Structure 1
Amino acid sequence: MISREETLALWKAQEATVRARLAAPGIATLAQLKERSGIEFLQDIWEGKLPSLLIGDTLDFVPVEGEPGRIVFQGTPGRKHYNTLGSVHGGYFCTLLDSALGSAVHSMLPKGSGYTTLELKVNLIRALTEKTGPVRAIGKVIQVGKQVGISEASIVDVDGKIYAHATTTCLIFPLP
């Protein structure tokens, strides 16, 4: 079994590798989105061929792993993410989870399809603080059909402790 220290080192190295590849944050064009399947679009972001996520830049998280139906984002919560109560704001949890959930659904879409979140259900299980260290939101598809996609995600630390769990329902539609 891999130790906590080894897992932490692996996570940090993987994040550094991804960050070195990412292009500057921005917005891809509709044409760039339409000409790729969902997984191709996401892979082109990870490989620096398309702009990286603006919200990831704002909240300091990046995608670190991905395959069709499973996407993982990683970030390290800090004081800049705190609410007035002295822990990480619920919006950080929700945004990290929504990114993993939506991207998991997106990874299953064919060329010419888009999605939007219809419903997001989040359970905050325990507080995140600057002492937590890196966390991962692991998004997994439950079902993707022609009009609806459903996925689930959890936020975990290097020890596998769960901090939050979420589910989403996404509307799938043809891009204009």
Structure 2
Amino acid sequence: MTTREETLALWRQQEQTVRAKLAAPGVSSLEDLKAGTGMEFLQKIWDGVLPSVPIAETLDFIPVEGEPGRVVFQGTPSKRHYNPLGSVHGGYFCTLLDSAVACAVHSMLPQGMGYTTLELKVNLVRALTDKVGPVRAEGKVIQVGKQVGIAEGRIIDADGKLYAHATTTCLVFPLP
């Protein structure tokens, strides 16, 4: 069984490795999006071939694992993410989970297809603070069809403690 310290060391090493490869934030072109499958597009971002995502820089989270149907983002909540009540704002939870579940759907799309989130349902289970350390949002596909993609996600800490869970429904469509 892995200890918390071992998990944290692994997570921090993965984060350092990924951060070293990411390009500066920016927005990819429609041509870049259409050039390959959803997984190929995401991999180009993760490899630093395409720009990293601006919202991830704003909230300081990054993708740390990804494969078709499963994507994991990691972030370390800090006081700059706090609400007036003294804990991490719900928008941080929602953005981290939306990124994980939507990218899980995106990872399953064939070339020439895009998506947009139609619905995101998030349940906040417990408060996050700057004392928690890094957390991970793992998104997993439930089903992706020709018009609809569905995925679920969870935010956990290094002990496996659940902080929030979500489901999404995405509209899948041909790119213009």
TM-score range, shorter chain: over 0.9
CA distance in 1, matches of 2:18, 2:167: 26
CA distance in 2, matches of 1:52, 1:111: 20
Question: What percentage of residue pairs aligned between the two structures are identical?
Answer: 75
CA distance in 1, matches of 2:2, 2:120: 34
Output the amino acid matched with 2:62.
Answer: V
Aligned residue in 2 for 1:44: 44
Aligned residue in 1 for 2:138: 138
Q: How is 1:1-176 mapped onto 2 (pairs within 5 angstroms)?
A: 1-176=1-176
Offset of residue 3 of structure 1: 1.0
Output the amino acid matched with 2:94.
Answer: C
Q: How well do the aligned residues superpose, as a CA RMSD in angstroms?
A: 0.3
3-state secondary structure, aligned to 1:39: helix
| TM-score normalised by L of structure 1 | 1.00
CA distance in 2, matches of 1:96, 1:166: 10
* Runs of 5+ consecutive residues of structure 2 not aligned to the other structure: none
Offset of residue 121 of structure 1: 0.3
Output the amino acid matched with 2:89.
Answer: H
CA distance in 2, matches of 1:35, 1:13: 31
CA distance in 2, matches of 1:88, 1:38: 31
CA distance in 1, matches of 2:126, 2:101: 20
Count of residue pairs the alignment pairs up: 176
Offset of residue 36 of structure 1: 1.2
CA distance in 2, matches of 1:114, 1:33: 8
Output the amino acid matched with 2:22.
Answer: L
Instruction: Please list every run of at least 4 consecutive aligned residues from structure 1 whose deviation after the TM superposition is greater than 4 angstroms.
Output: none
CA distance in 1, matches of 2:93, 2:120: 12
Offset of residue 21 of structure 1: 0.2
* Runs of 5+ consecutive residues of structure 1 not aligned to the other structure: none
Deviations 1:34-78 (Å, cap 9, x if unpaired)? Answer: 011000000000000000010000000000000000000000000
